[in-house]
Amino acid sequence: MNDSLGKGAIRLRRPLVIAGTASGAGKTAVAIGIMAALTRRGLKVAPFKVGPDYIDPGYHQAATGRAPRNLDTWLRDDAGMRENFLRGAAEADVSIIEGVMGLFDGRAGAGNAGSTAEAAVLLEGALVLVVDCARMSRSLAALLHGFATFDPAARLAGVILNNTGSDRHRAMLADAAAEAGVPVLGAIPRRPELKMESRHLGLVAAAETECGELIDNLAAAVEEGVDLERLLALAETLDYAWSDG
């Protein structure tokens, strides 16, 4: 919840930004699982999606019971996007932002415009990278090193290892992440009940599917495999400039 500091400022927890290495890495499933798991704890979770997507926010609402908001610097300028975030976060205990595509993917051309990285920097969010680890071990170190050093402004707070196999596989991945200097916040196992069905061109909305069981499964996987206390600790309190007019 917010603590107003008077005209011009508001005190909120920094958002947790769930990013992916690319589309298909599992960031939507992980973000939904985190939203649902924290909601189960009795927290008021404010859900957000980078970009104009209307499909994923339907799952966000089902997971949290709260109306989601889109964060888009194409349709709104930086100040407008920031205001939209602050209004959505003002009455929540914690804010979860699901990214779009890969962390640095945005509008055509150089720079971070329209990307998850841009949103994370503008909103001073804690960046959590989701990596599909199904077919890698030590190569994770090289991948994380690249994402962690590519843009110093978009600093990684940690990684969630998705699609992991055996305990031995997870141990190898943890060693690789340590080699890259990126904290491991959790690991999600490879299980058929955690797989989100393919959505042809993104035209199958959450309201049109039986998503309740999927959300329960994702929440349970997050509760089992992700250090939620450590994750929440990343959402430290900040003072944001605020003009409610």
pLDDT, tens digit (0-9, with 9 covering 90-100), for 45-89? 999 999 988 888 899 999 999 999 999 988 889 999 999 999 999
Could you give the CA distance from residue 150 to residue 47 in angstroms, rounded to a whole number?
27
Q: Extract long-range pairs of 70-79: CB within 8 Å, 24+ residues apart.
A: 71/97, 71/119, 71/123, 72/114, 73/113, 73/114, 73/118, 73/119, 73/122, 74/107, 74/114, 78/122
Domain layout of the chain by residue ranges:
21-234
Strand partners, 187: 161
Backbone angles phi, psi at 35, to 5 degrees: -55, -45
- CATH 3.40.50.12780, applies to 21-234: no
Residues 32-45, mean pLDDT to the nearest whole number: 98
pLDDT at 105 exceeding the cut of 80: yes
User: Between β-strands 237-242 and 8-13, what pairing exists: parallel, antiparallel or unpaired?
Assistant: antiparallel
Global confidence as pTM: 0.93
